[in-house]
Amino acid sequence: MNDSGSQRPERLQKILSAHGVASRRAAERMILEGRVVVNGAAASLGQSAVFGADVIEVDGELLGPRGGFVYIMLNKPRGYITTVSDDRGRKTVMELVADAGAKVYPVGRLDMESEGLLLLTNDGDFAKIAAHPSYGKVKTYEVSVIGGGSGAVSILRGPMMIDSRLVKADAVEIAARSGQGMVLLISVHEGRNRQIRKMCAGAGLEVRSLKRVAVGPLELGRLEPGEWRHLSEDEVQLLLGMRIKN
């Protein structure tokens, strides 16, 4: 038996955030979608509960205290830098996961003007496997571009010299066309500094927006900019494939 009687009720979205389920805004959506159950009944937005006294379930699993490694997927908005801190006072992605209940670190990076899927964790093995090119985790970007001739896509699909190194995209697809512009899906397994932007520039294309939509089998899905969620155990194992053995 616990001493939960001394605790005050809290809004469900605050409880879910404190226990590492998702950011408060994403937790609100989960409640609205009927994915949260309290004492056997579907929760409603604005409902309060007492963790430890009330039985809280998320997607059919009992909410319990978190511990050990933490794995987060964030939809990074524009205007944030992918560092733990910044001596120039710029906004960092750490501000967006401040309510995660654990200290985590970005896996790889997205430049300030790029957005989309960013992983954060406190598991060094996971970070290495997810980010290092030698593990071949393909990263897919949705890129809105203008300009370039009819051969721009062919240039992108072929080997290109970027920063005195030969690089080649794993795949380049045209997702949509609009007037003088188009939306491309570009997949690469390397992660060189501003590689996608430099590749597009080399093909005569101007990048209007750039969003990472997938890392390996993990897809950004419906996360809104600034929202985060924890990876499921299945997602972690799917990305890892096999952990590094010492």
Mean local confidence (pLDDT), 159-187: 92
Distance CA 215, CA 108 (A): 11
42, pLDDT greater than 90:
yes
Residue closest to 53 by CA, chosen among 93, 2, 88: 2
Q: Could you tell me the pTM of the whole model?
A: 0.72
Confidence label for 65 from pLDDT (cuts 50, 70 and 90):
low
Indicate if 33 and 142 belong to the same structural domain.
no
For the ranges 46-55, 150-159, 223-232, which has the lowest average pLDDT?
Answer: 46-55
Indicate if 207 and 222 belong to the same structural domain.
no
Residue closest to 198 by CA, chosen among 173, 165, 170: 165
51, pLDDT greater than 80:
no
Active site residues: 111
Rounded alpha-carbon distances, angstroms, from residue 243 to 126, 128, 160, 231: 8, 10, 33, 16
Could you tell me which residue, 153 or 193, shows the higher pLDDT?
Answer: 153
User: Angle between the 124-131 and 233-240 helix axes, to the nearest 10 degrees?
Assistant: 60
Residue closest to 96 by CA, chosen among 88, 79, 87: 79
In a domain, 109, yes or no: yes
What's the pLDDT at 19? 73
Q: What is the rounded average pLDDT for all residues in the chain?
A: 86
Indicate if 26 and 80 belong to the same structural domain.
no
Tell me which DSSP letter residue 75 carries. Answer: E
pLDDT in tens, 90-146: 999 999 998 887 788 899 889 999 999 999 998 888 888 888 777 778 999 999 999
CATH number at residue 147: 3.30.70.1560
Of 62, 80, 112, the last residue of a domain is 62
Backbone angles phi, psi at 134, to 5 degrees: -65, -20
In a domain, 82, yes or no: yes
Distance CA 112, CA 224 (A): 17
What's the pLDDT at 5? 40
What is the domain extent for residue 158?
Answer: 138-215
Give the total number of structural domains in the chain: 3
CATH number at residue 9: 3.10.290.10
